[in-house]
Amino acid sequence: MKLNTPLRRFCLGSAAGLFCGVIAWSYSAFAHVAISPTQGVVGLLFLAISCGAIAGLTDFDHLMEQIPPF
């Protein structure tokens, strides 16, 4: 799988960050911690943009080649 464009890597990183943020937000309800929708959406956007920037600026293909096959 070649992720040769930074925009594609940014989008995939943002999707991963968004997924992790949604999981964390759902567990906050389980722990009885009230997070307002505004705070939750801002947190999700921050996490998604941060993960997207990290994925877009780094060479993810090189990292994945270093992981041994299962």
The domain ranges of the chain are: 6-66
Give me the pLDDT at residue 2, please.
60
Give me the pLDDT at residue 29, please.
78
* Predicted TM-score (pTM) of this structure: 0.68
Residue 34 CB partners (closer than 8 Å, separation 6+) = 28
- On whether the CB atoms of residues 14 and 51 are closer than 8 A, the answer is yes
pLDDT in tens, 5-58: 778 878 888 888 888 888 888 888 788 888 888 888 898 889 888 888 888 888
Residue 18 CB partners (closer than 8 Å, separation 6+) = 44, 47, 48
Count helices and strands (H / E) in the chain.
Answer: 3, 0
Q: Return the C-alpha torsion angle 36, 30, 33, 27, nearest 10.
A: -70
